[in-house]
Amino acid sequence: MTPTVRTRVAIVGAGPAGLLLSHLLDAVGIPSVVIDQRSRDEIESTIRAGILEQGTVELLDTLGDASRVRTVGNRHDGIELRFAGEGHRIDFPSLVGRAVWLYPQHEVLKDLIAARLAAGQDLRFGVTAESVQDAETDRPRVIARDADGQPFEIEAEFVVGSDGSRSVARAAVTGSSTGGYFREYPFAWFGILCEAPPSSDELIYSNSPDGFALISQRSASVQRMYFQCDPETDTAAYSEAQLWDELQKRVPGTTLKEGPIFQRDVLRFRSFVAHELLRGRVALVGDAAHTVPPTGAKGMNLAIADVRLLADALGALLLDGDARPLETYPERALHRIWKAQHFSWWMTSLLHVAPDATDFDRRRQLGELRSVVESDHGRAYLAEAYTGWPQS
Ligand code: PHB
């Protein structure tokens, strides 16, 4: 007999979405089991982007002192768009009355893991989900292997797939591990982490004839920067001096503060939305449900917006026996997901130089950039989307 763990909600994946969901469910008295194939250390040290919308920060505030976003993170009231050698600031508070916070995802994860363990959450690392079964019954199951490779099952009243872009749970919802709307881009980002002071107080999103660059930050002494590259680029192909050259030529007008580069990675650009987000008693949230290119800084925020909707829907289902909010979960989540898909695609196409761009394309793009920054409405559209649409 395979050992069986019983709970109300089984959550596959201990990223921001899965962990926050367990917190919101616990707050209304619904127990859950969260599993993740990675170790705690791996989860807490994987480098990811770090822009949090105001609504995301407010939801993290419900963790109390465990959330350090307001003490360790930094509030950013604007970003700079740079093109044709000039910078244009987009001021969020004056345009839309909101701001964003720079607080890297692994810091959010450290806060969430500590808070969940302190609350007694059943949270298991090193546990691999092999499949999700019986979605269309009222006892769906996760077939898993524990950290020692021993098989076991989790039987629940509901299963949530928050297991990222290579989701195992997705197959139980869409019928295949890939089923979705998909787009790939002909470029990627070469990302670096370096030991240096910040080169700018705010993020710079720069369009230049040599391609795009983003100057971001991590702390007073560590900086994160990216430049547009070919998706097949080998991270070892550049010397440190060449990396600084590539970055520097894409941000004319700013002298970058250089320092030792201690991490390099290539981020591929993809847009993806699963064909379905719900089947019976299995739902998808976060990257299991959708992927966006990083230019709009939407990934984690979108995951957390899904979770907010799903937590309410599961509360109605499991506490009041009301299935209606769950039935409308896909439609309500997709409303925001497709807006964010559009924004992420738009920021990407607005700022990058496509490998096959003609002179016409290049001049048209500058025309588009000017129509955004020279219009209160254009800047407000960008600010509204970047800081996050209010939760519906
Ligand atoms: C980051 O700091 O890693 C970052 C910031 C903004 C983005 C993407 C990545 O749009």
52 C-alpha to ligand 1 centroid (Å): 10
Q: Please report the pLDDT score of residue 392 as a whole number.
A: 65
The mean predicted confidence, pLDDT, of the chain is: 96
pLDDT for the residue 224: 96
Determine if ligand 1 sits within 6 Å of the CB of residue 295.
yes
State the distance from the centre of ligand 1 to the C-alpha of 25, rounded, in angstroms: 29
* Cβ contact 167:16 at 8 Å: no
pLDDT for res 331: 98
Pairing of strands 78-83, 204-208: parallel
Cβ neighbours for 194, distance < 8 A, ≥ 6 positions apart = 222, 223, 225, 258, 259, 260, 261, 262
| Under-50 pLDDT residues of the chain | none
Pocket lining: 297 vs ligand 1, CB cutoff 6 Å: yes
- Which residue has a Cα nearest atom 4 of ligand 1? 49
Active site residues: 76, 205, 294, 298, 386
Residue to substitute in 205, 226, 292 for testing ligand 1 pocket (most ligand atoms within 8 angstroms of CB): 226
Domains observed in the chain: 4-76+100-181+271-346 (3.50.50.60), 185-269+354-387 (3.30.9.10)
CA of residue 51 to ligand 1 center, whole Å: 6
For ligand 1, atom 3, which residue shows the shortest CA distance? 49
Q: Say if ligand 1 is within 6 A of residue 213 CB.
A: no
| 295 CA from centroid of ligand 1 (Å) | 7
Nearest CA owner, ligand 1 atom 1: 49
Check residue 311 and give its pLDDT. Answer: 98
Distance of alpha carbon 206 from alpha carbon 384, whole angstroms: 20
Q: Whose CA is nearest to atom 9 of ligand 1?
A: 49
The tokens of 136 are what? Answer: 């269309």
62, 70 contact by CB (below 8 A): no
165-193 b/e with 16+ CB inside 10 Å = b?
A: eebbbbbbbbeeeeebeeeebebbbbbbb
Ligand 1 contact, 216 CB (< 6 A): yes
Task: Please report the pLDDT score of residue 262 as a whole number.
Answer: 97
Predicted pLDDT at 47: 77
**Burial class of residue 312 in the structure, from the number of CB atoms within 10 Å of its CB (0-12 exposed, 13-18 middle, 19+ buried):** middle
For the Cβ of 49 lying below 6 angstroms from any atom of ligand 1, the answer is yes
Give the model's pLDDT for residue 179.
86
The whole-model pTM stands at 0.97
Ligand 1 midpoint to CA 113 (Å): 23
